[in-house]
Amino acid sequence: MAANWGTQGTGDFVPTSHATPYAATDPKTTALPAPFTVCIVGASRGIGAGIATSYAKAGASCLILSSRRVSGLEETAAACRAINPDIRIAVIPCDITSAESVASLAKEVREQYGRLDVVAVNSGYSGPVVLTMTDTDPDTFSNAINVNYTGTFLCAKYLISLLLETEGGAKAFIGVSSFASLIVRGPIANAQYCVSKAAQLKLLEHVHEQYHGQGLATYAVHPGAVSSEMAEETAPDAFKPYLTDSPELCGAFCVWLTKEKTRVEWLSGRLLSAKWDVEELEGRKRDIVDGDLLKMKLSL
pLDDT at 10: 87
Quick: pLDDT tens for 14-32: 999 999 999 999 999 999 9
**Residue of 171, 197, 259, 275 marked catalytic:** 197
> Is 157 labeled as catalytic in the residue annotation?
no
> How does residue 74 score in pLDDT terms, banded at 50, 70 and 90?
very high
Closest CA to 251 of 30, 32, 33, 55: 55
- CATH number for the region 2-8+33-291 comes to 3.40.50.720
> How does residue 241 score in pLDDT terms, banded at 50, 70 and 90?
low
> How does residue 1 score in pLDDT terms, banded at 50, 70 and 90?
very low
> How does residue 225 score in pLDDT terms, banded at 50, 70 and 90?
confident
**So where are the chain's domains?**
2-8+33-291
Quick: pLDDT tens for 252-285: 999 999 999 888 999 999 999 999 999 999 999 9
The whole-angstrom separation of Cα 108 and Cα 13 is 41
Contacts of 132 (CB under 8 A, 6+ apart): none
pLDDT at 7: 80
The whole-angstrom separation of Cα 227 and Cα 117 is 29
Instruction: Give the DSSP H/E element, type plus range, for residue 219.
Output: strand 217-222
Phi, psi of 239, deg, nearest 5: -90, -20
For residue 201, pLDDT over 70 is answered with: yes
Quick: pLDDT tens for 99-140: 999 999 999 999 999 999 999 999 999 999 999 999 999 999
Share of the chain above pLDDT 70, in %: 94
pLDDT at 237: 64
Mean confidence (pLDDT) of the chain: 94
Closest CA to 247 of 19, 14, 12: 19
pLDDT at 4: 79
The whole-angstrom separation of Cα 31 and Cα 148 is 32
pLDDT at 298: 85
For 292: left if phi > 0, alpha if psi spans -120 to 50, otherwise beta; the answer is: left
Share of the chain above pLDDT 90, in %: 84
pLDDT at 2: 57
**Residue of 193, 211, 219, 275 marked catalytic:** 193
Helix (H, G, I), strand (E, B) or coil at 211: helix
User: What's the mean pLDDT in 69-78?
Assistant: 93
pLDDT at 38: 99
DSSP H helix total and E strand total for the chain: 10, 7
Helices 46-57 and 70-83 cross at an angle (nearest 10°) of 30
Helix (H, G, I), strand (E, B) or coil at 42: coil
> Is 242 labeled as catalytic in the residue annotation?
no
Quick: pLDDT tens for 156-170: 999 999 999 999 999
**Residue 114, CA distances (Å) to 73, 107, 277 in order:** 22, 10, 35
